[in-house]
Amino acid sequence: MFELMGSEASYLRSLQIAVNHFYVSEALKQALSQMEHHILFSNIQRLMATSERFLMDLELRLGENVFISQVGDIVLQHCPAFHRLYVPYVTNMMYQEALLNQLQQQNKEFMYSLKTLEQDPVCQRQSFKSFLVLPFQRITRIRLILEVGIYIHLNYTIYIFNNTHQRLPAPPQRPSDHLL
Give the model confidence (pLDDT) of 77-89 as tens digits. 999 999 999 999 9
Q: What is the assigned CATH class of domain 2-164?
A: mainly alpha
Q: Please report which confidence band the pLDDT of residue 178 belongs to, taking 50, 70 and 90 as the band edges.
A: very low
Question: Contact, 149 vs 4, CB < 8 A?
Answer: yes
Of residues 99 and 150, more confidence is placed in 99
Question: Which of 146 and 121 is assigned the larger pLDDT?
Answer: 121
Residue 25: left (phi > 0), alpha (psi -120 to 50), or beta? beta
What 3-state class would DSSP assign to 174? coil
pLDDT digits (tens, 9 = 90+) for 24-52: 999 999 999 999 999 999 999 999 999 99
| CA dihedral angle for residue 20, residue 25, residue 29, residue 35, rounded to 10 degrees | -20
* Between 177 and 141, residue with greater pLDDT: 141
pTM: 0.79
